[in-house]
Amino acid sequence: MIEYKASFQNNTNKFQQIIEYLNEIENNINNGPPKELTPTLYHSFYHELPLFLKQLNPQYEQPDAVLNAIQAFYQFSRYNPKDKVARLILNSGALEKLLSLNSDYRVMVYHILNEITTASHEVVIEIIQKGALGFCLDDFFTFDPTINEFVLKIFLNMVKSSFLARALVYSTGIFHVFLQKIENNPAVPLKMLHFISELILVFCCFGPSRGIPLFADEFLNQPSNEVSLNNWNTIMENYFLANIFNRDYFIEFLENGATFISGSPIAIILSNLMKYDKDQTIQMNVLRSFRYLASRDAQVKPYDLCQFLLKGPLNFVSYASFCIESKVIPLIDLAIKDLICIYSPFHISPDRLVSKDAVDFIFALLKNNNTEKLGTIIIKNAALALNNIIASFPNRDLFEDDEEKEILEKLDLIVSYLHNSPFNVQCGMLWLYLNLVSNYIQIEGFLTSFKNNLDIIVDIGSSFPDESLVLMIMRCLKRIFDYDERKTGSSKLQDLFDGVGGFSMISLFWESKNAEIAHKAEKFYDKYICPDLQLNVDLNPENNTGNNDDDKYDDDDDDYASFWIND
């Protein structure tokens, strides 16, 4: 296993002198956006470059010569374009000299690395190859807030730059070593936990998870494993420093990415970070990490991570519920988005009691707050989270322990938001309302509520909101109308529907350019509005083969109610 040493000491007078000197540099430099590098400035620096390189020798005869050279390189590193700046520092051999300076100057070197690692991903790979990654790893477990902050920034720059850079960082065994360190030193400073949680967040964000390319990498044309291994071989052939890379870890990342599987370092670290439920920074990084992982897992079968979070030993749903109960707005926002994602796949098997607790926490949140307190986005997402949880129990047993009065109170709360909220909240609440009514229509009072609120349903639907919501409206209307027809055998519901403009809404859907919406509207019109016409049936029996292409839209409506986001 690779070991990293902690060589930096911050208790020397020299260090204090450098910090003061660095602050003076910062005060003398424009803190606005980096300036563009003009040809005059470039040639001026290039002319002085031999002197600066000579001054980087600590034995140079002039006092403060090293500081003078570092100041010059730092000021130069702040200019754009970063590729041109970084290339000169690389090609001149200055980077190797900077990295070889003694520990007194490390914090100033970190300032320079923080600038040049924002260059293009090709340049960042060269910077890693020159030893910058190993330089940072030396201080990875130095429990000093100044060093931790800069090392984190540089790591983030590297990891964000490209898939190859992420794989190289992962191949150092950085997370494996962290687990070793905390086993031997359980009193890890909080700043270090912030550091590792932020680094894991970026790995989860930029993927891949389960081998699925992350959204950003889709635009970067993520290389194949074969190409990545060829890149590895090329880099290693020209890497002559202490070996910090592990080929097995590199291949592990190529095949699995930042994955959450039993025994993986990321899984173990995230599980342990969940214990720090009093630290908001760690909580937010944990919630964000799981959302990135789960949102990708929700797109593929067999939905291992979502299922694990729902029923595994982590008790993640309870953790999210705790965050919702915290009354801390950012935590509430993230926890609700997490629940939307992990409950979004169809055919998952969540724990009923844990899910019911989450539902109760969210309803309590809605009851004790409003859009002014929480904001419209959180309220809408709360509705969508409730919708996904309810839709995950097709046997309608989620509320089996509730009295009908309690369920009706929940429905009334939704109705109050449905009538007294901005339009985007109304759309989320309508999705939830129709899901709940159509699934629990047998409860006394639900059909009455539906009839009493047909006007607002039609008003929202007639504005033709999101197409997925329109499909939801059509499917739920079909289910409710079928139930009413079986129960009453009358057309009173159709008359009421027509009276609030429902037929006009269906006609609007029928004119949609979305083939599925238009087809469902036509079928609804044929069955409930003009059942005697049956316009879509050919009068010639020989032509009614049952192979109509439109049949592909006639699903069984079992998988109709789930919604998920990844924003």
Stretch 173-190: mean pLDDT? 79
Output the six-digit token pair for 314: 């982590």
Residue 416's identity, in one-letter code, is S
More confident residue, 482 or 530: 482
Give the model's pLDDT for residue 61.
65
Give the model's pLDDT for residue 23.
52
Q: Is the pLDDT of residue 37 over 80?
A: yes
Q: What is the pTM of this model?
A: 0.79
Q: Binning pLDDT at 50, 70 and 90, where does residue 565 land?
A: very low
Distance of alpha carbon 237 from the chain centroid: 36
Give the model's pLDDT for residue 302.
60
Please report, to the nearest 10 degrees, the dihedral formed by the alpha carbons of residues 132, 133, 137, 143 taken in order. 70
Give the model's pLDDT for residue 561.
46
pLDDT in tens, 324-379: 988 899 999 999 999 998 898 877 888 889 999 999 999 999 998 877 888 899 99
Q: Are 356 and 318 in contact (CB under 8 A)?
A: no
Helices vs. strands in the chain: H and E counts, helices first: 31, 0
CA dist 328 and 248 (Å) reads 42
Q: Is the pLDDT of residue 552 over 90?
A: no
More confident residue, 235 or 34: 235
Helix axes 467-488, 423-439, angle to 10 degrees: 30
Q: Is the pLDDT of residue 507 over 50?
A: yes
Weakest mean pLDDT among 109-113, 137-141, 155-159, 516-520: 137-141
CA dist 479 and 437 (Å) reads 10
Tracing tokens 């905390």 back to the chain, one arrives at 182
| SS3 state of residue 52 | helix
Q: Is the pLDDT of residue 210 over 70?
A: no
Q: Is the pLDDT of residue 258 over 70?
A: yes
Q: How many CB atoms lie within 10 A of CB 486?
A: 8
Give the model's pLDDT for residue 527.
86
Q: Is the pLDDT of residue 549 over 60?
A: no
CA dist 555 and 172 (Å) reads 50
How many Å from the N-terminal Cα to the C-terminal Cα in the chain? 38
Distance of alpha carbon 500 from the chain centroid: 41
Give the model's pLDDT for residue 338.
92
CA dist 232 and 248 (Å) reads 12
Cβ neighbours for 181, distance < 8 A, ≥ 6 positions apart: 141, 188
More confident residue, 445 or 554: 445
Q: Is the pLDDT of residue 533 over 50?
A: no
Q: Are 206 and 165 in contact (CB under 8 A)?
A: no
Weakest mean pLDDT among 184-188, 538-542, 555-559: 538-542
More confident residue, 561 or 443: 443
Q: Are 312 and 304 in contact (CB under 8 A)?
A: no
Give the model's pLDDT for residue 428.
92
Q: Is the pLDDT of residue 97 over 90?
A: yes
Give the model's pLDDT for residue 222.
66
CA dist 234 and 411 (Å) reads 63
CA dist 201 and 61 (Å) reads 47
Output the six-digit token pair for 521: 């509207």
Q: Is the pLDDT of residue 218 over 70?
A: no
Weakest mean pLDDT among 144-158, 286-300, 344-358, 481-495: 286-300
Q: Is the pLDDT of residue 43 over 70?
A: yes
Report the CATH architecture of 404-536.
Alpha Horseshoe (1.25)
Q: What percent of the chain has pLDDT over 70?
A: 82
Give the model's pLDDT for residue 535.
43
Q: Is the pLDDT of residue 536 over 50?
A: no
- H or E stretch including 16? helix 13-28
Weakest mean pLDDT among 29-33, 44-48, 57-61, 467-471: 29-33
Q: Are 198 and 160 in contact (CB under 8 A)?
A: no
Give the model's pLDDT for residue 544.
39
pLDDT in tens, 221-230: 567 788 888 8
Q: Is the pLDDT of residue 25 over 50?
A: no
Give the model's pLDDT for residue 395.
75
Give the model's pLDDT for residue 158.
93
Domain extent listing, the chain: 1-131, 404-536
Stretch 423-437: mean pLDDT? 92
CA dist 317 and 358 (Å) reads 7
Write the Ramachandran bin of 347: left for phi over 0, alpha for psi from -120 to 50, otherwise beta: left
> What's the CA angle centered on 22, arms 16 and 27, to 5 degrees?
130
> What's the CA angle centered on 327, arms 323 and 332, to 5 degrees?
45
